[in-house]
Amino acid sequence: MAETDRSILVLVLLITFFTIFLAIVGESRPDAYLSVAILLYFVYTAIDPSIRRYTNLKPLDIGLIIVFAVIVVIRILLVLEVI
């Protein structure tokens, strides 16, 4: 198995594990699942940069940061009861 394939497999297994964990603890908000998956992606690619060596992930990174920022802003506005 190639190094990149192994790295992607580990990332998928991590996201799957944490998704199952969130389901077990009763989390029902889709934004929580998406936020955790985005954070896992960034943490894992920072720890294991082998995926980044073989692919151009800058457009994906920018898109995920924008999605994460929107989720955080919406959550803050909900907590502050602005929306």
pLDDT computed for residue 49 by the predictor: 85
For 81, left (φ over 0), alpha (ψ -120 to 50), or beta? Answer: left
In whole angstroms, what is the distance from residue 80 CA to residue 78 CA? Answer: 5
Q: What is the pLDDT of residue 54?
A: 77
Contact 8, 51 (CB under 8 A): yes
Instruction: Retrieve residue 78's tokens.
Output: 């909900």
Q: Give whole-number Cα distances, 19 to 39, 62, 79, in Å.
A: 12, 23, 24
pLDDT at 24: 98
Distance between CA atoms of residues 7 and 68, nearest Å? 23
Q: Which residues of the chain have pLDDT under 70?
A: none
